[in-house]
Amino acid sequence: MTRRILIIDDDPILREIALAILTAAGFECAVAEDGAAGLRQVAEFRPDLVMLDMVMPVMDGIETLAAIRADWPQLPVAVMSAGTRSMSSAGLLRIASGLGAHQVLQKPLRAATLLPVVERLLAERGPDALQA
């Protein structure tokens, strides 16, 4: 059974990089450009893992992570960030960890760091279906 990963990021280049890395590794992927679209995709695509950017328009990563935790508490979420002008990526990632992110990743993404994280989170989760 192919594992499903949802990539939520407003940066089209990062979405394409993550999509290329993950599909080349054999995962089925979907993408969303902001948190609101991402939440719709979680309900429709039913991923085994969400890769979530912290800084996005419409609905940021903090709001999106809180909504995922409320509706899908067992769904693994790996957050990623390059930071903002007012907060470092480390600060954003600390907040995400406190909200229940399973892993935090610093951008830019690289296959050598992304794939082991994805494999570990999916292995920890096991083969169960998304809990709604």
The CATH class of the 4-120 domain is: alpha beta
Other C-beta atoms lying within 10 Å of the C-beta of residue 84: 13
- Residue 4 CA to residue 19 CA, distance in Å, equals 11
Output the CA–CA distances (angstroms, integers) from residue 60 to 2, 3, 49, 121, in the order listed. 29, 25, 18, 22
pLDDT score at 113: 87
- Residue where the block lists tokens 């599909």: 23
- Exposure string over 28-52, b if 16+ CB within 10 A, otherwise e: ebbbbbbbbbbbebbeebebbbbbb
- 53: tokens are 């950017």
pLDDT in tens, 8-35: 999 999 999 999 999 999 999 999 999 9
Amino acid present at 85: R
pLDDT in tens, 39-82: 999 999 999 999 999 888 889 888 999 999 999 999 999 988 76
Residue 103: pLDDT band by 50, 70, 90 thresholds?
confident
* DSSP letters spanning the chain: ---EEEEE-S-HHHHHHHHHHHHHTT-EEEEESSHHHHHHHHHHH--SEEEEESS-SSS-HHHHHHHHHHH-TTS-EEEEE---SSS-HHHHHHHHHHTT-SEEEESSP-HHHHHHHHHHHHHHH-SPPPP-
Query: What are the residue boundaries of the structural domains of the chain, listed by start?
Result: 4-120
pLDDT score at 108: 78
